[in-house]
Amino acid sequence: MNEHKIKFKIGEFSKLNMVTIKTLRHYEEIGLLVPDEIDQWTGYRYYRVDQLNKMNQIIFLKKLGFSLEEIREVFDEENQTPDIDQIQSKIEQCKQEMQKLQWRQTELSRLESTLHKKKIMEQVIIKSLPAVIVASHRRVITSYQELFNLCPNVIGPEMARLGCICAKPEYAYTIDHNKEYSDTNIDLEYCEAVVEKRENSELIQFKNVAAVKTAICANHYGVYDTFPQTFARLYEYIEQNGFRIADDPRFCYIDGIWNKESEEEWLTEIQVPVEKV
């Protein structure tokens, strides 16, 4: 008794597997799934019943993240499933992709919150800055995280040793002396207003800072990576209102990692000394 073999035309095979004919032709071109028979006169392509299982496996492996080239290599080795090493490699890729997606979700949520609360920068403020005596510490640091370690562990203890008394109201700021952007070598000066000068030391220098008649200021909420957005608004205001920049911007770190759990609550006042054109 002859066994009747079922053959599927490419359209039928496409429908059963819920893939397009274009996809099947591509699989044929790359040698992944070749029709069992091609009629030399009509060009019709026919597939066998057992090729349904192979097609299902291709679809399954694609969903697991295997490329068509990787799937073809599996079949070339006469296997139906990848080996342990290949599977472990895909698991590691999944972990990395999940980390990237988690980071993206966190950043998107932060951006949504920032836009919703309109906290990229509040209203521009024009004010004067008083003349002060400051205890100054200047050094090249690799990141602002280093500064926030220096303040409580190096600068603060040295000021206490010298007998410094902080002015009231308290006023502290930093100035970035770099002439161009640097993410690893930041020439930063930390200044804190004090009641009187004390004897200079290797770490602390005392100096008089003149009053600033006019400073264009803005509160910046959030991480420091978004400073450029606040600067764009500040300098646009300066230009449109007939001012010119008179000195380096000052960064007053009011709230940050040292007292706030959420980065959204970090508050920095940026002060730009200006004068009328």
Looking at residues 189-217, what average pLDDT do you find? 96
pLDDT at 263: 83
pLDDT at 240: 92
For the stretch 27-66, pLDDT in tens is 999 999 999 999 889 889 999 999 999 999 999 999 999 9
Tokens linked to 127: 């004010």
Stronger pLDDT, 112 or 25, i.e. the higher one: 25
Sign of CA dihedral 39, 43, 48, 49: negative
pLDDT at 54: 92
Least confident of 14-18, 88-92, 220-224: 220-224
Q: Buried b vs exposed e over 22-53: b needs ≥16 C-beta within 10 Å?
A: eebeebeeeebbebeeeeeeeeebbbbeebee
pLDDT at 1: 45
197 CB-side CA count, 13 A: 10
pLDDT at 115: 66
pLDDT at 217: 93
Contact 173, 126 (CB under 8 A): no
Residue 112's pLDDT band, with cuts at 50, 70 and 90, is confident
For the stretch 124-173, pLDDT in tens is 899 999 999 999 999 999 887 788 888 889 999 999 999 999 999 999 99
Residue 182's pLDDT band, with cuts at 50, 70 and 90, is confident
| Closest residue by Cα to residue 22 from 14, 30, 31, 32 | 14
Which residues have CB under 8 Å from 204's CB, separation 6+?
Answer: 135, 136, 137, 155, 158, 159, 162, 164, 198
On the question of pLDDT at 85 being above 70, the answer is yes
Residue 113 DSSP label: H
3-state secondary structure of 90: helix
CA distance 238 to 20: 60
pLDDT at 120: 47
For the stretch 228-273, pLDDT in tens is 888 998 999 999 999 999 999 999 988 888 888 888 888 899 999 9
